[in-house]
Amino acid sequence: MAEFVVHGVTGSAFCRSVLATLAEKGADWRFDAVQPGSFDTPGHRRLHPFGRVPILDHRGFHLYETQAILRYLDRVLPQPLLTPATPQLAARMDQLLGITDAYLFGDCASVLVQQRIIGPQLTDTPADEAAVAAVLPRADLVFGELSRWLGPRQWFVGEAITLADIHVAALLDLLVMTPEWPRLVAGRGNLVAHLERMQDRPSFARTTMARLFTLAA
């Protein structure tokens, strides 16, 4: 039996962040695919009162909220360490995690992924072009800020991969499938190169949407 079980949805960037972190650590994990229609069931609500994913089960210890899960994993699986050693760099990593959740996802990806991927491909719902257009100025701001913090470096914080790199890339790897991607990364080649570096890592290769669909079958 796997030491870590992640209850999640195939295609969720938040679930992928958790799974890729486990893969970076070389941990023994299993993905338990949850159907979105089951979020409101009593069983799911017992594990996540707000009816979302991911949920981590570590030998009976259950935890929800992605950032809490990521930091927990970095504490209980300290090698390789995915949090910078200095307070300043750790704070910068935390800032980027916050930007990812609140602005990259909350303000941008939540709209673009729904309108460009989930609606047209999964529910046969035409995209709301007005909603897409409305979010693009905010998306430009977010991408500009991420590009600024990455700069010429390989990784967002310090000289090695951190939780910030994993979390940002998990969302960018969804947005690359939208027609807005070329506009958002225009003049921001550092973000494109960063995503390519992450896609080349075994942890990301093991947690693609196609691989998770296979695991969930």
Q: Are 96 and 150 in contact (CB under 8 A)?
A: no
Structural domain count of the chain: 2
In the structure encoding, which two tokens stand for residue 157, read together?
């914080």
Would you place residue 213 in the very low, low, confident or very high pLDDT band (cuts 50, 70, 90)? confident
Q: Tokens 């979302």 belong to which residue?
A: 52
State whether 185 and 112 are in the same domain: yes
State whether 70 and 107 are in the same domain: no
State whether 57 and 140 are in the same domain: no
pLDDT > 90 fraction of the chain, expressed in percent and rounded: 88
State whether 193 and 211 are in the same domain: no
Q: Are 173 and 93 in contact (CB under 8 A)?
A: no
State whether 111 and 127 are in the same domain: yes
CATH number at residue 50: 3.40.30.10
In this prediction, residue 217 carries a pLDDT of 60
Between CA 110 and CA 106 the distance in angstroms is 6
In this prediction, residue 214 carries a pLDDT of 84
State whether 116 and 190 are in the same domain: yes
CATH number at residue 186: 1.20.1050.10
State whether 11 and 113 are in the same domain: no
Residue 198 has pLDDT above 70, yes or no: yes
Residue 121 has pLDDT above 90, yes or no: no
**pTM score, whole prediction:** 0.96
Mean pLDDT of the chain: 96
Alpha helices in the chain (DSSP H): 13-25, 42-47, 66-76, 87-99, 110-113, 129-150, 163-175, 181-185, 189-199, 202-205, 209-216
State whether 68 and 108 are in the same domain: no
Please report, to the nearest 10 degrees, the dihedral formed by the alpha carbons of residues 101, 154, 31, 74 taken in order: -80
In this prediction, residue 162 carries a pLDDT of 99
DSSP string, 141-192: HHHHHHHHHHTTSSSSSTTS--HHHHHHHHHHHHHTTSTTHHHHHTT-HHHH
State whether 107 and 49 are in the same domain: no
Residue 45 has pLDDT above 80, yes or no: yes
Question: What tens digit of pLDDT does each residue of 187-196 get?
Answer: 999 999 999 9
State whether 93 and 180 are in the same domain: yes
State whether 108 and 165 are in the same domain: yes
State whether 45 and 132 are in the same domain: no
Residue 61 has pLDDT above 80, yes or no: yes
Residue 1 has pLDDT above 80, yes or no: no
In this prediction, residue 92 carries a pLDDT of 98
Nearest to 17 by CA among 53, 45, 62, 49: 53
Structural domain harbouring 57: 4-81+204-216
